[in-house]
Amino acid sequence: MKNDIFSKLDYTLIFIVFLLFCASLIAIHSAPLTPDLEGSHFVLRQFMWYVIGTVVAFGVFILDYERLKALSWIFYAIFLVLLLGLMAAKHGIPVPFAHKSHGAFSWYQLPAVGQIQPSEFMKIVLILLIGRLIVEHQEKWIEKTVKDDFRLLGKIFLVSLPPLGLVLLQPDLGTALVLMAIIASMILVSGIRWRIIFGLLAAGILGIVLLVLDYFYTKLVVNIVLAEHQLERFYGWLDPYKHSNNEGFQLINSLNAVGSGKLYGVGPGNQNISLPESYNDFVFSVICNAFGFVGASLLIALFFLLIYRIIYSAIKTHDPYGAYLCTGITGMLTFTIFQNIGMTIQVMPITGIPLPFISYGGSSLLSNMIAIGIVLSVQAQTRKYMFS
């Protein structure tokens, strides 16, 4: 039986994650630290988180995703309450362990465990729940009408909007964007008619265009939707040399670090760059500096392989729920990677989200490892069919 479990594991995926683990330790090791952080054993702690993450991923794999599906509403309720708790804390209501950091209420500071970020886990919970909604919807309405499509869309929005709103208000634009990416990718694959999807896309683009126009002419809506510091983030992104605010400054530092890596990099330990959060959000800049274009491209290729492997699992599986889960995870990882790497090279504005599997950070790594556990579990299910 034990043998059976291990035979169902996808060792290709595990090997990819192992390579990412190695990359993470090297990157964090070579990240220059500000004097106040020297002596914090980030490499050791990341190693520890990877051990914990592996155990949790294995636990999820054993548990089987079908059981997670059954529990999805309960998880949803738990994390929604935790998010509500943070919202209450933001408005001055005392909530135990609620913790403010970097100007946002996104964390619970637990004794012994450390900081926990509920929104990180909400991403997984939302994938579980939306997948379940789609599957149940399609089992109920086999011959779907346009009306049915709208009904499904309505359900998805109904469960997504509360957590999305709460995360946006923390304020944590980065994680909120990841949630949107998850929702969007799952809607795409859910089988909703193209017309509706294009309609949504058009509405989204129109909304952004209107927002930009509003910014230039009246500023009525912009000021409600985006806080001043979020607007500054956009200025800093568009012209960092003119807007030497915090974001502009970070971007210039990041670009200097990335650019001076050139083709082959300066080599780990030879760096002379100053980057706040170099072990965390800006870890990719460190890699670019140390290992150059070659090293950075290899890492991107590795990420691409990882995502390819997950999509491959989604295509292979016979179980639609498994496929939806893999889709959600794909959306989550892709967007997070794109956003994080993009912000270091001025493709995206700067938001505080970490690079999956590489950046130092427990909550993010745990949720990503849970995602890997789910993918492994989906694949095991596929193999079970194959062998049966």
Partner 1 sequence: MEEKKKRKKKKNHIPFRLNILFLIIFLAFSALILRLGVVQIVHGEDYERKLEATNKVVTKVESVRGLIRDRNGTLLVGNKAEQAIVFTRKPDQDTQDLLDIAKKLSQYITVSTNKKVPDGALSTEQVTERDKKDFWLALHPDKAKAMLSAKEQNSKKAYNLMLDRITDRDLATLTTADLKVAAIWRKLVTASNLTPTYVKIGLTDKELATVGEHLKEFDGSIDTAVAATRSYPEGEMFFLGNVKEIPRHEVNNYLAEGYNRNDIVGTSNLEQQYENILRGVPTTYTFMTKNGKPVGNPIKEEGRRGDDLVLTIDSRLQKAVGTVIEKNLRKFHSTHANSAYAVIIDPNTGEILAMVGRAFDPSTGKIVDDSSGTVLKAFQIGSSIKGATILTGYQNHAIPGLFDDKPIKFSKDGKPFKSLEAIPTVGPAEALEYSSNVYMGRVVGNMAGFRFYDHGSYYSVQVFNGPRFVHAFNALREGYSQFGLGVSTGIDLPFESIGYEGPLPLDSPGIIMQFAIGQYDTYTPLQMAQYVSTIANGGKRLAPHLLKTVNEPSGDPTQVGPVKYRYEPKILNTIANTKEQIDMVHKGFYLVTQGPHGTARMLGALNAHNRSYKIAGKTGTAQVNTDRGLDNLAFIGYAPYDNPKVAVALIVPETHDNHANLYIAQDIFDVYNKLYPGQLK
Interacting residues with partner 1 (CB under 8 A): 32-35, 103, 138, 142-143, 185, 188-189, 191, 252-253, 255-263, 272-274, 288, 292-293, 296-297, 300, 303-304, 307-308, 311, 314-315, 320, 323, 327, 330-331, 334, 338, 341-342, 345-347
Smallest gap from Cβ 60 to partner 1, in A, equals 22
SS3 of the chain: CHHHHHHCCCHHHHHHHHHHHHHHHHHHHHCCCCHHHCCCCHHHHHHHHHHHHHHHHHHHHHHCHHHHHHHHHHHHHHHHHHHHHHHHHHCCCCCCCEEEECCEEEEEEECCCEEECHHHHHHHHHHHHHHHHHHHHHHHCCCCCHHHHHHHHHHHHHHHHHHHHHHHHCCCHHHHHHHHHHHHHHHHHCCCCHHHHHHHHHHHHHHHHHHHHHHHHCCCCHHHHCCHHHHHHHHHHHCCCCCCCHHHHHHHHHHHHHHCCCCCCCCCCCCCCCCCCCCCCCHHHHHHHHHHHHHHHHHHHHHHHHHHHHHHHHHHCCCHHHHHHHHHHHHHHHHHHHHHHHHHCCCCCCCCCCCCCCCCCHHHHHHHHHHHHHHHHHHHHHHHHHHC
Q: CA dist 178 to 146, 256, 336, Å?
A: 28, 27, 6
Smallest gap from Cβ 103 to partner 1, in A, equals 7
How many Cβ atoms sit within 10 Å of the Cβ of residue 86?
25
Smallest gap from Cβ 32 to partner 1, in A, equals 5
Smallest gap from Cβ 303 to partner 1, in A, equals 7
Smallest gap from Cβ 218 to partner 1, in A, equals 25
Dihedral of the CA atoms 258, 264, 267, 273 (nearest 10)? -20
How far is residue 363's CA from residue 53's CA, in Å, rounded to a whole number?
A: 10
CB of 32 or CB of 268, closer to partner 1? 32
Smallest gap from Cβ 346 to partner 1, in A, equals 8
CB of 265 or CB of 373, closer to partner 1? 265
CB of 130 or CB of 288, closer to partner 1? 288
Question: In Å, how far from its chain's centre is CA 111?
Answer: 25
Smallest gap from Cβ 323 to partner 1, in A, equals 5
CB of 220 or CB of 263, closer to partner 1? 263
How many Cβ atoms sit within 10 Å of the Cβ of residue 224?
9
Smallest gap from Cβ 363 to partner 1, in A, equals 24
CB of 200 or CB of 311, closer to partner 1? 311
CB of 38 or CB of 388, closer to partner 1? 38
CB of 308 or CB of 385, closer to partner 1? 308
CB of 42 or CB of 47, closer to partner 1? 42
Smallest gap from Cβ 37 to partner 1, in A, equals 11
CB of 359 or CB of 363, closer to partner 1? 359
